[in-house]
Amino acid sequence: MTEKELNEVYSTGNIVPAEAARASHAQSINAQRITMEMNTKFHTPEELNALFSELTGKTVTDISIFPPFYTDYGRNITVGHRVFLNSGVCMQDQGGITIGDGTLIGHHVVLATLNHNPDPARRHELYGSPITIGKNVWIGSNATILSGVTIGDGAIVAAGAVVTKDVEARTVVGGVPAKLLKILREYDQEEGNASGASAAEQIGQTGPAGGDDIVAKQIACEMLLRGMQDDYIHAATGVPLAVIRELRSQISD
Q: What are the backbone angles phi and psi of residue 251, rounded to the nearest 5°?
A: -65, -35
Burial class (CB in 10 A: 0-12, 13-18, 19+), 201: exposed
Please report the beta strands in 129-215, taking only residues with DSSP state E, as ranges in sequence order.
Answer: 131-133, 138-139, 144-145, 150-151, 156-157, 162-163, 171-174, 179-183
| Number of residues in the chain | 253
Q: Which amino acid is residue 199, in one-letter code?
A: A
Query: Please, are residues 208 and 239 in contact by the beta-carbon 8 Å criterion?
Result: no
Provide the 3-class DSSP secondary structure of residue 11.
coil
Closest CA to 130 of 4, 2, 12, 6: 12
Q: Is 108 a catalytic residue?
A: no
Provide the 3-class DSSP secondary structure of residue 197.
coil
Provide the 3-class DSSP secondary structure of residue 136.
coil
Q: What angle do CA 177, 168, 92 make, to 5 degrees?
A: 60
Q: Which amino acid is residue 174, in one-letter code?
A: G
Element (H, E) at 104: strand 104-105
**Cis bond leading into 240, ω under 30°?**
no
Catalytic position from the list 25, 107, 116, 234: 116
Catalytic residues: 116
